[in-house]
Structure 1
Amino acid sequence: MHFRPLHDRVVVRRIEAEEKTSGGIIIPDTAKEKPQEGEVVAVGPGVRAEDGTVTALDVKAGDRILFGKWSGTEVRIDGEELLIMKESDILGVIEQAEALKQAA
């Protein structure tokens, strides 16, 4: 099955957090919070204004994003746990080039 979101909806796959702290302590499943970082899987065409024009979304498939703790609706599509949320629920896009510069 192929899923295509409508309007300003975005389909997101959660990126699992590290299971160990920087000090080497393993975090059990019961103490983990759901990650607030994900990868955009699909995006809708955009928001339609009153005059009929469509404004495209700022995110695209493949972007790595941060979103609010309670954002989106959890769904299962083809056996995979995904989130469907509005673009306004996305807090920001993680730029990979910036992350590489800071690590160096």
Structure 2
Amino acid sequence: MNKVWLGLIVAFLLSIGTMGFLPSETEAEGFSDVKLTEEQQKEMAILQKEAFNQKKEIINKYVEYGVFNEEKGLKMISKFEDHYNKLEQNDFVPKWDQHHKKHHKKD
């Protein structure tokens, strides 16, 4: 019985100890207030464009191999283009918290 209580106390203390390392909801959303320098924006633009082109190439291969039809492939590429354009409008700072709230509202 003493071992059970000791285990519960240790588990409780460990869970309290880790709480200080987890960001609160407001801290987690604070990244959207960050402003990138011009140099950082240019670097992110290059990386995001490379990622977009890679995704586009992968989708085109899936279309070529018959995994997706051409219509679905174009639709997927269009979504990636929209995502890239939104990043560009936001100076390459992701606004994931807004997207998450928009699509995952609890009723």
TM class by shorter chain equals: under 0.3
Where is the helix percentage greater, Structure 1 or Structure 2? 2
- What TM-score results when the alignment is normalised by the length of structure 2? 0.24
Q: Larger Cα Rg: Structure 1 or Structure 2? A: 2
Where is the strand percentage greater, Structure 1 or Structure 2? 1
